[in-house]
Amino acid sequence: MTADIRDAIIAELTDMVAALITNAHEMEVLHEKHVAVEVENTERRILLEEHRRQKVLGAKLKTLGDTIADVRPRINQVIQQQRHDDGRSSESPASLKLIMKSFSAMSQQVADLSDRVQTSIEGPPRPHASEALEMWTDVRRKTKVTPKKINTDYNRIKDFIAFVGDKAVDKYTFLEFQRWSNLLARVPKLISVVPHLKGKTHQQAADHNDRLKIPRATMTTKTIETNYFSPLKHFFRQMAAEHRFQSPFGDADVRMDGRGSVKRRPFKVEQLNMWFAHAAQEERAEMIWLPLLGAITGARIAELIFLQGRDIYQMENSFTGAKYWVIDLRFELVAEDGGSEERKTKTETSKRIIALHEVFTEAGFIDYVRSRRAADWLFPASFYHGKKRVADPPRAASKRMNRMLKDVGIHKPMERVFHSTRHTAKDIMRLARVDGRTSDLQTGHAFKTVSGSYGAKDLEELPTEIEVLTALPLPEGLDLSPYMERNDRRKSRQE
């Protein structure tokens, strides 16, 4: 009697099921060993090796699943044939149903195991970038990072999310960051300030600029790197540490092809003379004194605009008895209600003592300071445009200073602006052979080396250096006579 072909098929399938169940059990045991591996406090090499092994296991499970998928139609074919048969089979349909039930159970077991392996490989679901950004920003607000820095970083990261899309933080790829960099290289600078660009996305602004006959200058590489990618790297690296995934910035560097930065140039002596002659004829206090303060002290315009009467006072060298005037940026400001408010400085090293050259006494600036009360702003007009209070006094003052430079004829966009006075002050100190570390303390620059960070942290601890700064020789040919003559006229009117 010829053996029924279905008997052979059933026997083969029975053996295959047994083998697959055994294989699945072995893989589950292997998986449990992988899961037991502790990755906390291990080196990255071990973590990456475990990641590779999990991928191998996942591939094996996929092969197993594919095998089950291949076998299932064969079982179904046998069942269908059994239903239409006239009873020739020695096997009952119940045995085939039992095999099918075993396959279904095993299939579900393998699917569950595959899901567990996938979770082990990728980790649990991570929050979307927008959600993570809110949590990250909320935590940062409880640190000493300045509110302005926090808000700026928040907006730049939101810009990236708007461009790429809001996805789980571990699902962003390297090329998405590269495409973002490529777009930023086409975006006009000051996108948030130029009236016809306000409200446009970065993509829209770039496309609009491309269509212009004379396109506006685009962002510099430094702007792209500092303003956009620095906060992005910071955010994703911290999120990678928090949620256990590999940062997209870990293994490759994003290329940034923005416009080259324009280098600031110090003012020449002849240019300073023209500027000082013009400024000494002004009426508003900040228009008179900011040019001289910037060029001699190297202070930033935001530091000068928020000066109050009590910030400038006289110190005495306890050893020599010498007295000198200083600006002190280390303390809080007096608020309008009489309380206190934080003095906003660019960096921690900006909170410092600034020595005032003796020329400020001769030119009448110290007399002007004495005329202000302790809680008064030194330059109150800087806070208003007409009767309307300005939102950003330093920005408004910078615009006025640059308009004055244009009137004098020495302004050059980006290259010679008010901020160039910091370069001028550095040159003046360098020519006077002032120690580089003392120069950094005066201007609030961070120390460039480890050795530079050792020693006194502000000029109050270096009275001898303050005396050097108050009496350092000014550049040959620098003409301060317009200020001296103005002071003489003021004194004569008071007599």
Q: Which of 259-268, 355-364, 388-397, 415-424 has the lowest mean pLDDT?
A: 259-268
- 32-59 pLDDT, tens digit each: 666 555 444 444 555 556 566 666 666 6
Span 294-323, pLDDT tens digits = 999 999 999 999 999 999 999 998 888 889
pLDDT confidence tier of residue 25, bands split at 50, 70 and 90: low
Q: State whether CATH 1.20.58 applies to domain 5-122.
A: yes
Q: What is the mean pLDDT of residues 232-241?
A: 94
pLDDT of residue 433: 93
Indicate if the pLDDT at residue 1 is higher than 60.
no
- Mean pLDDT over 421-450 rounds to 91
**What's the pLDDT score for residue 492?**
87
Domain ranges of the chain: 5-122, 129-243, 269-494
Which residues are registered as beta bridge partners of 389?
384
Q: Using only the alpha carbons of the chain, give its radius of gyration.
A: 36
Question: What is the CATH code of the structural domain delimited by 269-494?
Answer: 1.10.443
Taking the CA atoms of 143, 145, 147 and 153 in sequence, report the sign of the dihedral they define: negative
Looking at residue 348, its pLDDT comes to 82
pLDDT digit string (tens) for 135-165?
999 999 999 888 889 999 999 999 999 999 9
More confident residue, 18 or 449: 449
| Pair 335, 409: CB distance under 8 Å | no
What pLDDT is recorded for position 63?
Answer: 65
Task: Using a pLDDT cut of 70, give the percent of the chain over it.
Answer: 75
Residue 18, pLDDT > 70, answer no
Written as six digits, the tokens of 198 are 């306000």
